[in-house]
């Protein structure tokens, strides 16, 4: 190109010399014109230096870097204008062969090929930067999706779909081909599919993420570049067979090779090439932001020995083997194809021989074909009808399956509801029963549900236990059910069709202790067409079994309360028997006093002194009232009945108990110490049962004390409860007996029944409390709590609602 510019300038000077031999006026005119034309030519006298660059790397960033390189060379090397042209592989080779370029920038494989044929020499190598360090080598990476845990080594690539840009791509496929060759893998034979996009490597990454291929081949640095530009989501791509080459930080699966380089062509001036090399190495390094920069700058030319080794191993230009065309070689290389061609020729010959005979039979075949066509049309029509019937059957089967799936889904939700209701310890049995019936009514899509108690006696009258929903005439429903009482003895699901329940009622009998006890009734408008699936029948049986179990549990609890009440009466009678001597002495005193007062009053009748008579009779009446009160309190203590919940004064109850035990304490020389708390303490409970608890605890404390001992009773009001403490100065309870003091029939007394403390604990627990015992430094101490009036009323209301 420099020679072309010099030739053009010389032609201009030759034309100017011819003007000197022209006539003078003409010479002046033409001379002025020549000066005008030559003035701009002298201003742009710079030599043009053409640089060709392989357009495999032709992004906007590449174009900007090539332009920056050309501008720097033009600026630093005087009288030279550097122009960089982007060319394809064939165009670049052609331009080099025709000496149309002075320099070229290309990949290492093409540089090695040109070294063998065109005597080219690298003068500078491209530099990249990662973080703060520059690098002039690169490699190739095998990538796949991060979730492909089955792909880790090169041996895992067999049978996979692999994607690359091109088979001639050095910075990708050829580098990995060399690694596969070393691992004994042949890409064309061992891969399931080998795809070439002939496009950008970014398209390969997108194809891997979208699972269009299993494995991709890209150059090192591309992953870091995309991550740096936020164009690749993190943790979606991983590298197979990763290599760790010295300080090289970029992800790669192959050994490293020199980066792209600028080469001097054979006809380029050596002095200019040296000046270009020094200028490129002095070119300012890029300061672009980001972690990875593929256009950092230029450095000295790298050694291409590793590139020669790769091309030699893969037998690629300029190391491809020479081929001598011969028949033997053709047969060795294309023997299968030649054999197929020979067989095809023989088959064509045989086919030509048979064509004449086939043509003769063609007419006959056409007529037969027409008959077959008619038969085929008929078969197609019949088959179409059969397929239509099959499709209809499939639609019915799908509809039936959808119904079954809907039933199973609803039944699963209902079973979950039954489980949640059953295990909810916060709900009483009555609330659980109501919620189960509501759940069943909603599940079976009924208007109303009722639970009736079957009659026990001869009168056929049902009693309503639980109801959910509403119907216009429940009384008629009850009459209808009472007319079918004998049928409720079975556990079958019954549907009635007689008036007034025609097609409206479904029943299921609830068994308790193996006997019919209740009947569960569902009422609905569309129940005449109602049918239960097998899973619905099992769900209904489960609900009725739970109802029966709940009723059995309530009966057991009722029997337990009855037994506890009777047992309390027995212990009270036993306590009265033990207190008999003390009570006899206590009653005997007022009766003796009354007798004395009456006798004195009779004597004073003779003395005619009314005032003395009135005093004696009054005192007699007081003594008799005292005896009556003692007997009344004893009778109230002994009597039994249903547990009551009422507000009463704890102080007054405690005073009555202390008064009742005063004589017994004196017999044992034990001092009873009343509570130090002044004022009334209002609690909620059964006063008779609480009096029994206090009586038992204080009597046990009296028995435990030795002579001149003390028994104290304290009341401590808390936030919601009143705490009662009964303490004695006895020897305490042995440690081995502490865990068993509240066990039934466990007693430390030789004549004790072992029921007193067990009943006390049962009574306290029935009042929502706990009875505790412990040893103190003075003796034993029993403690329990009762709800105060406000808190007790709240508990009472809750208990009544649950009941």
Question: In which element (H, E) is residue 258 found?
Answer: strand 257-258
Third-level CATH fold of 137-253: D-Maltodextrin-Binding Protein; domain 2 (3.40.190)
Reported as a single tens digit per residue, the pLDDT across 31-81 is 444 444 444 444 445 789 999 999 876 788 888 999 999 999 999 999 999
Instruction: Kindly report the length of the chain.
Output: 803
Reported as a single tens digit per residue, the pLDDT across 243-274 is 998 899 999 999 999 999 999 999 999 999 99
Count CA within 13 A, CB hemisphere, residue 395.
6
> Angle CA(504)–CA(505)–CA(507) in degrees, nearest 5?
165
pLDDT (mean) for 530-540: 71
Quote the CA–CA distance of 298 and 277 in Å, as a whole number: 9
Third-level CATH fold of 643-802: Heat Shock Protein 90 (3.30.565)
Q: Indicate the pLDDT class of residue 803, thresholds 50, 70 and 90.
A: very low
Q: Indicate the pLDDT class of residue 303, thresholds 50, 70 and 90.
A: very high
Find, among 544, 335, 532, the residue nearest to 437 by Cα: 544
Quote the CA–CA distance of 121 and 307 in Å, as a whole number: 15
Q: Indicate the pLDDT class of residue 717, thresholds 50, 70 and 90.
A: very high
Query: Phi, psi at residue 71, to the nearest 5°?
Result: -65, -40
> Angle CA(726)–CA(729)–CA(731) in degrees, nearest 5?
115
Find, among 629, 797, 599, 773, the residue nearest to 700 by Cα: 773
Q: Where are the alpha helices (DSSP H) in 424-518?
A: 429-443, 474-482
Give the count of beta carbons closer than 10 Å to the beta carbon of residue 299: 19
> DSSP secondary structure string, 600-642?
HHHHHHHHT-HHHHHHHHHHHHHHHHHHHHHHHHHHHHH---S
Which residues 6+ apart lie within 8 Å of 72 measured at CB? 279, 280, 283, 284
The 3-state DSSP class for residue 265 equals coil
Query: Phi, psi at residue 506, to the nearest 5°?
Result: -125, 135
pLDDT score of 596: 61
Q: Do domains 46-136+259-322 and 137-253 have the same CATH topology?
A: yes
Helix %, strand %, coil % of the chain (to 5): 55, 20, 30
pLDDT of residue 144 exceeding 60: yes
Mean pLDDT of the chain: 79
Third-level CATH fold of 46-136+259-322: D-Maltodextrin-Binding Protein; domain 2 (3.40.190)
Reported as a single tens digit per residue, the pLDDT across 84-110 is 999 988 899 899 999 999 999 999 999
**In the chain, domain spans:** 46-136+259-322, 137-253, 429-558, 643-802
- % of the chain with per-residue pLDDT over 70: 77
CATH code, 429-558 = 3.30.450.40
- The b/e string for 704-720 (b: 16+ C-beta within 10 A; e otherwise) is bbeeebbbbbbbeeeee
pTM of the model: 0.41
Which residues 6+ apart lie within 8 Å of 203 measured at CB? 197
pLDDT of residue 798 exceeding 60: no
Torsion of CA 193, 199, 204, 206, to 10 degrees: -130
């Amino acid at each position: 190109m420099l020679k072309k510019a010099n030739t053009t300038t010389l032609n201009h000077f030759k034309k100017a010399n011819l003007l000197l031999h022209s006539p003078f006026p003409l010479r002046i005119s033409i001379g002025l014109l020549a000066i005008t034309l030559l003035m701009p030519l002298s201003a742009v006298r710079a030599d043009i230096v053409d640089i060709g660059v392989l357009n495999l790397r032709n992004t906007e960033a590449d174009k900007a870097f090539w332009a920056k390189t050309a501008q720097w060379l033009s600026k630093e090397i005087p009288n030279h204008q550097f122009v960089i042209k982007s060319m394809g592989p064939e165009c670049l080779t052609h331009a080099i062969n025709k000496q149309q370029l002075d320099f070229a920038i290309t990949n290492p494989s093409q540089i090695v090929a040109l070294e063998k044929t065109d005597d080219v020499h690298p003068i500078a190598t491209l530099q990249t930067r990662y973080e703060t360090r520059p690098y002039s080598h690169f490699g190739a990476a095998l990538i796949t999706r991060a979730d492909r845990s089955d792909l880790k080594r090169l041996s895992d690539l067999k049978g996979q779909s692999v994607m690359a840009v091109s088979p001639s791509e050095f910075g990708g496929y050829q580098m990995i081909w060399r690694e596969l060759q070393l691992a004994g893998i042949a890409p064309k034979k061992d891969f399931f599919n080998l795809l070439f996009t002939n496009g950008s490597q970014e398209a390969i990454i997108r194809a891997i993420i979208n699972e269009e291929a299993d494995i991709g081949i890209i150059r090192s640095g591309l992953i870091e570049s995309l991550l740096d530009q936020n164009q690749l989501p993190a943790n979606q791509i991983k590298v197979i067979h990763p290599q760790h080459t010295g300080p090289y930080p970029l992800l790669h699966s192959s050994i490293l090779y020199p980066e792209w380089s600028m080469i001097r062509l054979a006809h380029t001036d050596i002095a200019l090439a040296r000046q270009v090399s020094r200028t490129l190495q002095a070119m300012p390094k890029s300061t672009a932001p980001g972690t990875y920069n593929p256009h950092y700058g230029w450095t000295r030319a790298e050694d291409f020995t590793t590139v020669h080794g790769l091309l030699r191993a893969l037998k690629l230009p300029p190391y491809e083997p020479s081929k001598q065309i011969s028949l033997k070689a053709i047969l060795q290389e294309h023997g299968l194809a030649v054999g197929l061609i020979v067989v095809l020729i023989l088959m064509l010959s045989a086919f030509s021989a048979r064509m004449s005979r086939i043509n003769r039979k063609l007419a006959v075949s056409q007529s037969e074909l027409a008959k077959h066509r008619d038969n085929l049309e008929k078969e197609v029509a019949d088959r179409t009808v059969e397929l239509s019937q099959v499709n209809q059957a499939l639609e019915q089967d799908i509809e039936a399956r959808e119904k079954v799936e809907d039933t199973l889904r609803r039944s699963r939700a209902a079973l979950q509801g039954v489980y949640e209701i059953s295990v909810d310890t916060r709900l009483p049995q009555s609330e659980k029963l109501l919620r189960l019936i509501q759940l069943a009514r909603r599940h079976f899509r009924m208007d109303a549900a009722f639970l009736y108690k079957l009659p026990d006696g001869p009168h056929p009258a049902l009693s309503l236990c639980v109801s959910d929903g509403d119907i216009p005439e429940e009384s008629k429903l009850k009459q209808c059910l009472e007319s079918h009482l004998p049928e409720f003895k079975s556990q079958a699901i019954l549907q009635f069709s007689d008036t007034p329940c025609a097609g409206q009622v479904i029943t299921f009998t609830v068994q308790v202790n193996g006997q019919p006890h209740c009947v569960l009734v569902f009422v609905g408008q569309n129940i005449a067409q109602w049918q239960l699936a097998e899973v619905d029948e099992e769900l209904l049986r489960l609900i009725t079994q739970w109802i029966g179990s709940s009723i059995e549990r309530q009966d057991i609890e009722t029997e337990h309360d009855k037994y506890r009440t009777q047992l309390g009466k027995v212990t009270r009678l036993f306590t009265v028997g033990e207190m008999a001597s003390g009570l006899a002495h206590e009653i005997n005193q007022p009766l003796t006093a009354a007798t004395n007062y009456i006798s004195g009053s009779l004597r004073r009748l003779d003395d005619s002194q009314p005032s003395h008579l009135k005093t004696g009779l009054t005192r007699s009446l007081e003594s008799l009232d005292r005896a009556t009160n003692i007997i009344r309190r004893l009778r109230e203590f002994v009597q039994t009945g249903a547990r009551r919940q009422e507000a009463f004064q704890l102080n007054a109850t405690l005073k009555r108990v202390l008064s009742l035990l005063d004589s017994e304490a004196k017999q044992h020389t034990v001092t009873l110490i009343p509570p130090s708390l002044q004022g009334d303490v209002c609690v909620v409970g059964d006063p008779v049962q609480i009096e029994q608890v206090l009586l038992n605890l204080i009597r046990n404390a009296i028995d435990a004390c030795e002579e001149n001992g003390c028994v104290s009773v304290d009341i401590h009001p808390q936030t919601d409860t009143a705490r009662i403490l009964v303490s004695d100065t006895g020897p305490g309870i042995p440690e081995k007996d502490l865990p068993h003091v509240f066990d039934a029939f466990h007693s430390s007394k030789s004549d004790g029944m072992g029921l007193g403390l067990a009943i006390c604990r049962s009574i306290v627990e029935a009042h929502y409390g706990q009875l505790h015992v412990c040893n103190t430094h003075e003796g034993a101490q029993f403690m329990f709590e009762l709800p105060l009036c406000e808190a007790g009323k709240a508990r009472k209301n809750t208990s009544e609602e649950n009941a």
